[in-house]
Amino acid sequence: MAYTFEQFCKDANAALKADQGRGGKDTIRRNLEALLKNDAFVQSVCGADAPYGVRQLYRDPDYDFVVLAHVNKDARKSPPHDHGSSWAIYGQATEHTDMSEYRRVDGNAGAGEAELEHVKTYRLTPGLAGLYDVGAIHSIDYPAGARFVRVTGTDLEAVERLKFDTARGRAEVIQSIGVN
């Protein structure tokens, strides 16, 4: 029997109940990879008939993590960014996403002058998931038609996050709907 979305949500809750640190999040990452092997699930949330855009699939009542389906029509390359006080796990459903990780080397925190060092770039292909913990800086680059499932520690629209302009050497706050 295929690993179901309902079981994934229960297991993610249990993983955070046991360990809200890196270990619990890595368990969620591994379980997301197992879920992405369920072709019926992938087709139902990221298949050809899925609507374009970002859809919330689940929000946990105990730990506030959110599961989202990202169904992308167009190619996109993001600037380096973080998820503020949250974390994120990207699980590739179709096509691929090239992920680049960075380290901030200027000694500063928050918005303002910022210098990043590129650490590595790798490709997430269908069935693979990557964990970006609190404070991790990364960028994404995917082709038209790429689709993924993302789990975040909370609603990212409600936390202050940074995007980095490497050409100008600046970090700027991402303007979100829920952040004043």
CB 12 within 8 A of CB 64: no
Percent of the chain topping pLDDT 90: 92
pTM value > 0.75: yes
Report if residue 105 sits inside a domain.
Answer: yes
Report if residue 44 sits inside a domain.
Answer: yes
Report if residue 180 sits inside a domain.
Answer: no
Per the structure, the complete domain to which residue 115 belongs is given by 5-173
Q: Residue 166 maps to which CATH number?
A: 2.60.120.10
Number of domains in the chain: 1
Rounded to an integer, the average pLDDT of 27-35 is 98
Gap between the Cα atoms of 88 and 153, Å rounded: 6
Report if residue 79 sits inside a domain.
Answer: yes
CA max distance for the chain: 52
pLDDT tens figures, 148-159:
999 999 999 889
Report if residue 97 sits inside a domain.
Answer: yes
Report if residue 178 sits inside a domain.
Answer: no
Rounded to an integer, the average pLDDT of 36-52 is 96
Report if residue 30 sits inside a domain.
Answer: yes
Rg for the chain, CA atoms, rounded: 16
